Amino acid sequence: MAGGGFDAPESGGGLHKQKKYKKGKKIGVRIDMTPMVDVIMLLLTFFILTTTLNTPQIMQINLPKGDESDKIKVDMGDVLYIRVSETGKVYFSRGLSDGTEAPPETVTFENMKNKIEAIYASNPKLLILLKFDRKMKYNFMVDILDEINRAAIEKRYSFMKMEDADKEIVTKAGG
């Protein structure tokens, strides 16, 4: 039987002698990270210490001193009160020239822009006083301001604190 076992070691005096190689030990590569960490920490402290820290910028607002000469007389007939309850219901009420106020009416959010434009068309000197309940959701207040800004009117409005008397007006109106 000639050449039958390929896996069997050659025996005897064959032509080729097989060389035996010893496998060497595998040397693992190890990188020492300590110097790199030291350099990173030094760079970090350098940049922290050399950068200038910006102080927060505050908008400068000049408020009137409250003298009698600073007060502006407004005809109450030119005022539109917009009150928003805690639940998000919107109430419009017009000021009357005698210094009183007309009873409030409920206005839907979708109809608010058209209602403001109609009131402005009848009175171009309209001044809007916005009174929001502190417990209402902030995003609803932003939506109302967006509707006022979308209305084709001269944007003259002011924020006022909702007092207890305003809350009573809203409660009587159904809010």
Query: Among 94, 81, 92, which residue's Cα sits nearest to residue 128?
Result: 81
Q: Which long-range contacts (CB under 8 A, 24 or more apart) does 123-127 make?
A: 123/77, 123/78, 124/154, 125/75, 125/78, 126/78, 126/79, 126/80, 126/153, 126/154, 126/156, 127/74, 127/78, 127/79, 127/80, 127/156, 127/157, 127/158
Select the highest-mean-pLDDT range: 102-111, 148-157, 166-175: 102-111
Q: Whole-prediction pTM value?
A: 0.59
pLDDT above 70 (res 9): no
pLDDT, tens digit, for every residue of 77-107? 889 999 998 888 999 999 888 888 888 999 9
pLDDT above 70 (res 13): no
Q: What is the pLDDT of residue 92?
A: 93
pLDDT, tens digit, for every residue of 26-42? 777 888 888 999 999 99
CATH of domain 76-172: 3.30.420.270
Instruction: Collect all residues with Cβ–Cβ distance below 8 Å to 134 and sequence separation of at least 6.
Output: 162
**Owner of token pair 């402005």:** 120
Q: Indicate the burial class of 86 (C-beta count within 10 angstroms; 0-12, 13-18, 19 or more).
A: middle
pLDDT above 60 (res 2): no
